Amino acid sequence: MTAMPRERLLFFTALGIAVASGAVFGALAWRNGRLPRGAAARVQLSAAPYTATVGAAPAVKTDVWNPPAAQARGRDWVYETFTPPEIFYNPRTQRFTVKPPASATDEVVEEAFGVELVAVRPEPFRLQLIGYVGGEGNWRGTFQNLVSGEVFLAGAGRRMPDLGLTIKSLAVAAVPVALTDSMTTRQRVATAVVRDERTGRDLTLTHRERYFTGGLSAQLAAPGESAPREVREGETFQLGAASYRVEKIQLAPPAVDVTKESPALAQPDRRTLVPRETEDTPLPSS
């Protein structure tokens, strides 16, 4: 007897599986059809007409970004997320100034700063020797009190309690003096040694040059004032409801850092003032 071909074997195997499956599933269906069934649920319909309703909108939380705060260099140094300030450079004063973004100032009424810088000068000593009179053994110096403006004659031993100074010695002698664009000549020069009771030091004044303390003073002008006022570092002065504090004075290039406080300002306004004739140069855009 010959063997059955492989293809016919697979066919009859599949046919047998199909017949067996049909018999099993048919028996299960017949059995389930004979099981008792429960009563179907009845649906109760409402007689009221349908009315459309709108659901309440969910609560939405809105976060608002805080306005940009001024930097330590002053109220104009304001940086927004997408709009930086316009920065200018002044080659004469070697300083930067800024113009804040328009959006940062649209809703704020800008208050004028109120003062401007006229000049910065070295601070002269409170007593100056400006000349001399007399002869050998009887010299008198011509002194100027810069506090009161008084000009007076005085010699060695003169004490000035209001200035806290004492003239220890006064001499007039011929010394070499170098002239600009010329040769050196010998001229009489008055020299006074003065004791400063406030510092406990001796200093030497001559009538050929002013003596300076090493400090600086600035002249600030305000609208309505007949003359500029002279101020020094650390001083505070009042103009109306606003107060001004001089933070720093610089000689070269001339500039003054001033902080203004006023009831109309939300925060102190700190600015660097330069002489009024100075012009700013905008930085080239990159």
Q: Looking at residue 245, what is its pLDDT?
A: 95
Is residue 74's pLDDT more than 70?
A: no
User: Looking at 14-18, 115-119, 176-180, 194-198, which range is the least confident one?
Assistant: 176-180
Specify the DSSP class assigned to residue 163: T
Strands of 114-197 (E only): list them.
116-124, 127-133, 140-145, 151-154, 159-160, 165-178, 184-196
Mean pLDDT for the chain overall: 82
* Sequence ranges of the domains in the chain: 74-105, 116-122+215-282, 126-210
Of 107, 123, 170, 173, the C-alpha closest to 143 is 170
pLDDT confidence of 90, banded at 50, 70, 90?
A: low
Side-chain-facing half-sphere of 186: CA atoms under 13 Å: 4
Average pLDDT over residues 192-205: 95
Q: What confidence tens digit (pLDDT) does each residue in 128-161 have? A: 999 999 988 899 999 999 989 999 999 999 999 9
Q: Looking at residue 23, what is its pLDDT?
A: 84
Average pLDDT over residues 103-107: 52
Cis peptide bond upstream of 124, omega within 30: no
Q: Looking at residue 180, what is its pLDDT?
A: 76
Quick check: 248 and 256 in contact, CB under 8 A? yes
Task: List Cα–Cα distances, 228 to 145, 222, 237, in angstroms.
Answer: 21, 7, 13
Q: Which is more confidently placed, 80 or 152?
A: 152
Q: Looking at residue 198, what is its pLDDT?
A: 92
Q: Looking at residue 52, what is its pLDDT?
A: 79
Quick check: 161 and 179 in contact, CB under 8 A? no
Average pLDDT over residues 99-107: 56
Quick check: 151 and 144 in contact, CB under 8 A? yes
pLDDT confidence of 234, banded at 50, 70, 90?
A: very high
Q: Looking at residue 279, what is its pLDDT?
A: 45
The residues near 270 (Cβ < 8 Å, ≥ 6 apart) are 72, 73, 74, 75, 247, 257, 258, 259, 260
Q: Looking at residue 89, what is its pLDDT?
A: 65
pLDDT confidence of 197, banded at 50, 70, 90?
A: very high
